[in-house]
A and B are shown apart, each in its own frame.
Chain A
Amino acid sequence: NAGVTQTPKFRVLKTGQSMTLLCAQDMNHEYMYWYRQDPGMGLRLIHYSVGEGTTAKGEVPDGYNVSRLKKQNFLLGLESAAPSQTSVYFCASSPSVVIEKLFFGSGTQLSVL
């Protein structure tokens, strides 16, 4: 019972490099989210999706892009990484329009040097 799986778990980038974080869920959930977690700031919503083929901006979308080509996958891209994007990234999914429970992945620790 995998739930929400994030890859990779750790990554170190140099400023200006690009990368894609993959989130996969096997629960047939409609809603998927990308958050970043920074000390003293809690979790902040980057982008979210309310269904296959849809995406929307969250609280801190600048410097990130997302895609939801398949219902089970939600990709987060950094086109040109900056040190300010050093953070822990969490993917989450939810089954319904009323959030009763978010299911979180175990996180990706990203360092941008």
Chain B
Amino acid sequence: AQSVTQLDSQVPVFEEAPVELRCNYSSSVSVYLFWYVQYPNQGLQLLLKYLSGSTLVKGINGFEAEFNKSQTSFHLRKPSVHISDTAEYFCAVSDGVPNDYKLSFGAGTTVTVRA
């Protein structure tokens, strides 16, 4: 089974500054990778996903992530954050077929954007 490590538990950042959230996963033959966001008192929403193809993935709200197979990483970035990006962010990984229907989540990174 996969495991996911989010290297930062809390990331404070000023408005309009860039942010990077780091995610590493344990090695496997093939994986699917995801970033989810949880706004206060809500369920999780999908930000972006990597299933195959281009290693640079663009998601909603200006976020992007890069899949690096050799470093088993899937870091999330945004060039300029807004107050509304304050949330908890979860990296998740799914084993490839035939166990691709189960996700393993990281512990989460809390992003706090300050004016």
Contact = CB atoms under 8 A, between A and B. Distances in A.
Interface stretch (B13-21, B63-71, B98-106): B98-106
Contacts of A59: 104
Interface string A50-61: 100000001100
Interface of A: 4, 31, 35, 40-45, 48, 50, 58-59, 90, 92, 94, 97-102, 104-107
Given A42-B106, A48-B102, 20 more contacts: A35-B105, A40-B9, A42-B4, A42-B90, A42-B105, A42-B107, A43-B90, A45-B102, A48-B101, A94-B101, A97-B101, A98-B32, A99-B32, A99-B34, A101-B46, A101-B49, A102-B44, A102-B103, A104-B45, A107-B43
Interface of B: 4, 6, 9, 32, 34, 36, 41-46, 49, 51, 90, 94, 97, 100-108
